[in-house]
Structure 1
Amino acid sequence: MVGKLARCVECGAKVNWITGPVEWDVKGERIAVDKVEHGICSVCGETYFSEGVSSDVQRRAVDAYKSAHGLLSGAEIRLLRQRLGLSQARFEQLIGAGPKTVVRWENGTVFQNRTVDTLMRVLRDYPQVAQDLLRRVDA
């Protein structure tokens, strides 16, 4: 929602703006995200976010989910890729992922499965494996 609404678009009641926790659904789990500025309708309970806030909440919720399930965060994936000196497209070639997959992992809009997460941990811990795999990709 753009800006801070004064009135609920659902019922017309006053929207109260607060900073506090909100819950976000990630793969069927409700994840609490702290310190989020949001509006709540005083009558129907509808929740509103200022522009850009919902994408930040989604990213933070996905990172919390990843942490709780032992998966690399978007920031950790970005750091790994940068340490290997690879662009997102080149990293996708290395691990056999589709176009724009790495950007989505890094931004927290989607996340990797456990198998790919394990592969990325191997590449992080043994960077020479990445070089060997890249030679095979280029062959």
Structure 2
Amino acid sequence: MEHKPECCDFCSSSGVSVRFETQQFEYGGGDDAVLLTVDVPVYHCAACDSSYTGEEAEDIRHAAVCRHLGRLTPEDIRAFRDQYSLTQSDMADLTGHGIASIKRWETGNQIQNLAIDRYLRLARIPQNIQLLKQMESARHSEPAFKTNLDARQLQESLDFKLRPSKQHKVA
């Protein structure tokens, strides 16, 4: 989603135009470094002759890295949530991943590792999302731990105390 600035970031002039430019950037380091190519919006101010990119360009570069790594992009993850009308909190409950992680993946602050990426791809399948919903529902309907103790056993378990540990001298 392109967002043309109303004024120049440098001189505040309103004479800003936008054009798409093909750029290359290096991802990785050493022998693993690769050159990725993207088309990004570049803003140009006629008043001060400055050219610059914005947040959209960073999002495009991030998506290119995700595609290079074979990972879902932030947009893909948001689309998955939207497809099933899930909030970030709902998705966290459903998948067992923390809401902070989901926010980082969707904002592009972190790329999910391979195992999580595969899990998210599998979770997008309708039968699997249904299974996850059933698992989450069952998790809330049964106590996490239950036992059948008579009154005497219950009292003994309540009276249980750990023994103090013996201090060992280190030579």
TM-based fold match above 0.5: yes
Q: Count how many residue pairs are aligned between Structure 1 and Structure 2.
A: 118
37, 40, 47: which one aligns with 1:35 = 40
Which residue does the alignment assign to 1:49? 52
SS at match of 2:99: coil
How much has 1:136 moved relative to structure 2? Answer: 4.7
Structure having the higher Rg: 2
2:140 corresponds to which residue?
A: 138
Partner Cα distance (1:119, 1:136) in 2: 20
What is the match of residue 20 of structure 1? Answer: 21
- Distance of aligned partners of 1:137 and 1:21 in 2 relative to their CA distance in 1, 3 Å threshold: farther
Q: What's the offset of the Cα at 1:137?
A: 4.8
Alignment deviations for residues 40-82 of structure 1 (CA, whole Å, 9 cap, x no partner)? xxxxxxx9635xx1x2222111111111222112222112112
* 2:70 aligned counterpart, secondary structure: coil
Q: Please tell me the root mean square deviation across aligned C-alpha atoms, in Å.
A: 3.1
Identity %: 20
Unmatched tracts of structure 1, length 5 or more: 7-16, 40-46
Q: TM-score, normalised by structure 2?
A: 0.54
CA distance in 1, matches of 2:107, 2:10: 27
**8 Å contact from structure 2 (residues 20, 40) kept in 1:** yes
Shift of 1:115: 0.9
- TM-score, normalised relative to structure 1: 0.64
- 2:130 corresponds in structure 1 to 128
What is the rounded CA distance, in whole Å, between the counterparts of 2:129 and 2:97 in structure 1? 18
- Distance verdict in 2 for CA 1:83–1:4, change over 3 Å: closer
Give the structure 1 partner of residue 108 of structure 2. Answer: 108
Using CA pairs below 8 Å that are at least 6 residues apart, which structure has the higher relative contact order?
1
Q: Deviations over 1:28-48 (max 9, x none)?
A: 555332133157xxxxxxx96
Unpaired segments ≥5 residues, structure 2: 1-6, 12-17, 45-49, 142-171
